[in-house]
Amino acid sequence: MFFFLYLSCQINNSPPSDLIPKDISPTINFQRPEELGRIRIAAVGDILLSSDINIAADLVNLVNDEGLSVNNGGFDVLLSEIRPVLKSADITFANLASPVAPDNQIRINNWLLNGNPFLLSSLAKSGVDILSVANSHTFDQGKAGLRETIERIERNKIKPIGAGRNCVDAKQAKFIQQNNIKVAFLAASINFNKYIDSGVKHTCAFRIKTINDIAPFISNAKEKSDIVVVSIHWGKQYKTRPYEHIQQLAESIIEAGADIILGHHPLVLQPIEVYQAIDGRIGVIAYSLGSIFSSHGKHYQAFIQNDSQGNTRDSGILQLDIVKRNYGEDGVSTEINNVSFEPVWITHNPDDTTLPRFLPRLIDDQILTLNSEINLLESGNDRKYKKKEQEFLFLRRSHIAETIGTEWLTELLED
């Protein structure tokens, strides 16, 4: 009995207070910043409307009993596989590297580059909000063709940037406000096949040579918006790395107040980089987004030719989240989050009657679809062919990742 009482006392006694561990962690009064708004921007590169693309659309055009197209001249089919990604964004950008001016039919070296107006209505249906028209082909259909292109874009409730009815209009930013975030878009070009300088009061495109030509317009746009996006046509075609002077210009554009640079003209993909400005802002530079509509590389043969011969058919969709946050007494900040790149391969299918002659396809979706089909097939030629196709898509995906930076592609996971 005495032993039991003694043990009970030992168990119930509390240890001396000086042996109790004290909470030595610092007191942190952390308050998560209030989110005031969030949007997603999607961007693609060149839309280059050669006769091959126009023919591909026409071959899948469907008309009703009255002879009217029910799928925007077939362009709805050509955009069908990338449309969900484009449309899911709050703001979607593309570079229109072709006039859309059927009332003007100018040939350059016996080559006609002129788009079908159905393209614009199909882009609008796919969620495209803004089109740059400052590029090599701006004046391919003359001043009248540029004016017609601008008018047709506006008719489809898309904002044209980089060109206008006069030079003041061409150099001004266009603004889009979504979810309490105001985004300014500017566009300019270093490269033109020909540049028609008809005076500041006439149809005009924004041409730049140095940072001084565009910096004041970026600064002005910054004062009126939360985020500034600059589309710029620059660089050397078919080069997968930007030249040093292009990199220096890009950094100067960020320092001038831009937050995102969307580059195009090389016709192939180039790296995506992050640059921190002196004022602490984080900018994103996509040196080249390649082409989303193009017939370049149409004769490329997988595995037979060098991988680089297919570079003009590598493409993708850049996606960036823009978030506005309230840091209380430290102020409000609008920041770039969740940058990613959806890889795309532009297929050319002259002999495949089940597909359009031309079709941009989401690589990851195709890999996963093929994987499901392979698992359902028994061994044989069909299964071997699909494995070969899947192998090729993995090859192009890897090539894209190495070009733009592996960190921008999301992990490929099977559903």
pLDDT in tens, 175-214: 999 999 999 999 999 998 888 776 667 899 999 999 999 9
- CA within 13 Å, CB half, 306: 2
The whole-chain average pLDDT of the chain stands at 90
CA distances (Å), origin 355, targets 63, 78, 360: 18, 10, 11
Domain boundaries, the chain: 34-348, 365-408
Q: What is the pLDDT, as a whole number, of residue 5?
A: 43
The length of the chain is 415
Which of 33, 31, 32 minimizes the C-alpha distance to 324?
33
| Structure token digits, residue 233 | 């046509």
Q: What is the pLDDT of residue 299?
A: 87
Q: Which residues pair with 162 in a beta bridge?
A: none
Asked if residues 318 and 260 have their Cβ atoms less than 8 Å apart, the reply is: no
What is the rounded distance in angstroms from the CA atom of residue 286 to the CA atom of residue 189?
15
**Structure confidence at residue 21 (pLDDT):** 53
What is the distance between the alpha carbons of residues 302 and 385, in angstroms, rounded to a whole number?
13
* 19 CB-near residues (< 8 Å, 6+ apart): none
**Cα–Cα dist 297/309, whole Å:** 7
pLDDT tens for the chain, 415 residues long, are: 444 444 444 444 555 555 445 555 566 676 788 999 999 999 999 999 888 899 999 999 999 999 999 999 999 999 999 999 999 999 999 999 999 999 988 877 777 788 899 999 999 999 999 999 999 999 989 999 999 999 999 999 999 999 999 999 999 999 999 999 999 999 999 998 888 776 667 899 999 999 999 999 999 999 999 999 999 999 999 999 999 999 999 999 999 999 999 999 999 999 999 999 999 999 999 999 999 998 888 888 888 888 889 999 999 999 999 999 999 989 999 999 999 999 999 998 877 777 888 999 999 999 999 999 999 988 888 999 999 999 999 999 999 999 999 999 988 765 5
226, 91 Cβ separation under 8 angstroms: no
pTM of the full predicted structure?
0.91
Are 315 and 342 in contact, with CB atoms under 8 Å apart? Answer: no
Which residues are CB-neighbours of 245 under 8 A, at least 6 positions away? none
The bridge status of strand 130-132 relative to strand 358-362 is unpaired
pLDDT tens digits for 12-38?
A: 455 555 544 555 556 667 678 899 999
Place of tokens 């058919």: 313
Q: What is the pLDDT of residues 230-252, one digit of tens each?
A: 999 999 999 999 999 999 999 99
Separation between Cα atoms, residue 223 and residue 186, nearest integer Å: 14
What is the reported pLDDT for 47?
A: 96
CATH H superfamily, domain 34-348: Metallo-dependent phosphatases (3.60.21.10)
